[in-house]
């Protein structure tokens, strides 16, 4: 019997209203580049944030540990650190544990401890617990447990060869604090936050992450109440006091558990209108109609732009009537996504192409289907929707 009292907050009042700047850049050839460019770009959109949160997600930065879960964990107390390390130590073999390098600057007030651990599930634990579930599933459950049951600990990120750096401050201040110009990755996303109602909490900054999925989000999800209740039915506990969290969990559910490709997930989050669906072919109608019937509770309604990323893929998506901005830029094999075109032009003045996508149209950059080169599948490696 499932625990009938598991739902932790009957009022579903955890939503925090926020508006923001977001930026993402990815070299779809997989080549790594430093964080310098994206820091300049997000700094250019300073006025879209108010200094109450900034953060970055980086993919490909730990080539020396490609097969280890890279836990980035924030602690507000030393007791929390000791408890969490006990918890991890009894379940994982930890190859390396160290504080995340940081350099205090005057903008950063009272920072928490942030440590990183490169870990693999102990073989005996894996043998006992990863029979009916994948290792990823096991890690997700442990992350949920740390976030909900160990006081003053919070997992920033837990994927392989990726990391989330975030905190309270403007994004450029967070970047300086964590020395982000010294990392190299093939995919970066960044976020500057303008919450209208929040406490200064480092865990509440974007990106939000579960396993190697990250989300940066600009907007307010007016459907949050039902999105959250829908996810609770599937065993997700929303703990982070923000609506962005539901996007991360929804992606985890649809991509990892339900095994749906990104093009289809985009149709769940920003589905076509019923009258548009009726104009499609018979098989497409069946698909789109069923998606809306089954996943209606995951329709993200209200103004939003998100940049979703995971290993090898970056996706930009707006709500279906595009109430928040998203500009796309392409230069050679690099894809840029930004709240404002000016930020892209600042770091790459001579773009091959720049455009504003339609509402609800996903922009997908993928290593499997790099821009320009003509891909394995023989499709044009152009970004954008694969029309189904």
Partner 1 sequence: MKTYLPSRFIIERDSDRCIKCEVCVNQCSFDAQYYDEQDDIVRAREENCIGCHRCVSFCPTGAINIRQNPLEYKSNYNWTAEAIESITKQAETGGVLLTGMGNDKGYRIYWDHLVLNASQVTNPSIDPLREPMELATYLGRKTNKVEVNDDGTMKTKSAPQVRIELPVMFSAMSYGAVSLNVHKSLARAASQMGTMWNTGEGGLHPSLYQYADNTIVQTASGRFGVHAGYLNAGRIVEIKIGQGAKPGIGGHLPGEKVSAEVSMTRMIPEGTDALSPAPHHDIYSIEDLAQLVFALKEATNYTKPISVKIAAVHNSAAIASGMVRAGADIIVLDGLRGSTGAAPKVIRDNVGIPIELALAAVDTRLRQEGIRNQTSIVIAGGIRNSGDVAKAVALGADAVYIGTAALIALGCHVCQQCHTGKCAWGICTTDLALTKRINPDIGARRLANMLRGWSIELKDILGAMGVNALESLRGNRLHLRGVGLTDSELEILGVRMAGS
Q: How far is the CB of 29 from partner 1 (least distance, A)?
A: 26
Please select the residue that binds partner 1; options are 147, 222, 311, 375, rule is CB under 8 A.
222
Pairwise CA distance, residues 237 & 382, whole Å: 37
Please select the residue that binds partner 1; options are 54, 55, 203, 303, rule is CB under 8 A.
303
Q: Where are the beta strands (DSSP E) in the chain?
A: 18-27, 33-34, 54-59, 69-75, 92-99, 113-121, 153-157, 162-167, 184-185, 187-195, 208-210, 213-219, 304-310, 313-318, 327-331, 334-338, 353-355, 363-366
Site for partner 1 in 128-167 (CB under 8 A): none
Helix 244-251 to helix 262-269 angle (10° resolution) is 140
Number of residues that bind partner 1 (CB under 8 A): 56
Nearest to 150 by CA among 92, 100, 87, 89: 87
Q: How remote is the C-alpha of 205 from its chain's centroid?
A: 11
Please select the residue that binds partner 1; options are 275, 349, 350, 378, rule is CB under 8 A.
275
Pairwise CA distance, residues 8 & 219, whole Å: 25
4 binds partner 1 (CB under 8 A): yes
Q: Which stretch binds partner 1 (CB under 8 A): 138-146, 151-159, 227-235, 337-345?
A: 227-235
Nearer to partner 1, 30 or 225 (CB): 225
Which one-letter DSSP state was computed for residue 265?
H
> For partner 1, what does the binding mask look like between residues 162 and 201, x meaning CB under 8 A?
----------------------------------x-----
Please select the residue that binds partner 1; options are 87, 138, 234, 355, rule is CB under 8 A.
234
- Other CB atoms within a 10 A radius of the CB of residue 11 amount to 6
Q: How far is the CB of 380 from partner 1 (least distance, A)?
A: 18
Q: Which stretch binds partner 1 (CB under 8 A): 46-54, 85-93, 121-129, 286-294?
A: 286-294
Pairwise CA distance, residues 200 & 271, whole Å: 34
Q: How remote is the C-alpha of 252 from its chain's centroid?
A: 10
Binding site for partner 1 (CB under 8 A): 2, 4-7, 10-13, 15, 17, 19, 196, 219-220, 222-226, 229-230, 232-234, 257-261, 263-264, 271, 273-275, 283, 286-287, 289-297, 299, 301-303, 320-321, 323, 388
Which residues are catalytic, by number? Answer: 20
């Amino acid at each position: 019997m499932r625990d009938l009292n598991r739902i932790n907050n009957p009022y579903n009042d955890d939503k925090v209203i926020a508006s923001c700047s977001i930026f993402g850049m990815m070299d779809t050839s997989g080549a790594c580049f430093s964080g310098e460019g994206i820091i300049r770009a997000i700094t250019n959109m300073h006025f879209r944030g108010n200094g109450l949160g900034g953060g970055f997600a980086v993919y490909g930065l730990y080539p020396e540990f490609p097969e280890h879960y890279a836990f980035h964990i924030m602690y507000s107390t030393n007791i929390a650190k000791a408890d969490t390390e006990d918890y991890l130590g009894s379940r994982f073999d930890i190859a390396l544990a160290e504080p995340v390098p940081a350099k205090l600057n005057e903008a950063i007030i009272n920072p928490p401890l942030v440590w990183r651990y490169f870990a693999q599930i102990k073989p005996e634990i894996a043998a006992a617990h990863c029979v009916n579930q994948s290792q990823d599933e096991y890690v997700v459950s442990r992350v949920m447990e740390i976030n909900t049951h160990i006081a003053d600990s919070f997992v920033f990120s837990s994927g392989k060869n990726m990391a989330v750096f975030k905190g309270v401050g403007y994004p450029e201040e967070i970047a300086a604090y964590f020395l982000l110009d010294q990392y190299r990755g093939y995919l970066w996303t960044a976020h500057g936050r303008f919450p209208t109602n929040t406490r200064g909490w480092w865990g509440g900054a974007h990106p939000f992450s579960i396993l190697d999925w990250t989300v940066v989000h600009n907007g307010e999800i007016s459907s949050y109440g039902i999105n959250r209740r829908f996810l609770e039915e599937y065993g997700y506990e929303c703990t982070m006091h923000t609506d962005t969290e539901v996007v991360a969990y929804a992606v985890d559910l649809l991509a990892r558990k339900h095994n749906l490709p990104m093009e289809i997930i985009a149709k769940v989050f920003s589905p076509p209108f019923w009258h548009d669906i009726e104009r499609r072919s018979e098989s497409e109608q069946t698909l789109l109609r069923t998606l809306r019937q089954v996943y209606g509770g995951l329709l993200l309604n209200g103004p939003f732009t998100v940049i979703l990323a995971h290993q090898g893929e970056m996706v930009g998506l707006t709500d279906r009537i595009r109430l928040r901005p998203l500009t796309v830029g392409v230069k050679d094999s690099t894809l840029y996504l930004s709240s404002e075109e000016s930020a892209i032009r600042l770091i790459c003045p001579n773009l091959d192409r720049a455009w504003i996508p339609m509402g609800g149209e996903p922009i997908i950059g993928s290593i499997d289907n790099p821009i320009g080169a003509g891909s394995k599948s023989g499709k044009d490696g152009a970004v954008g929707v694969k029309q189904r």
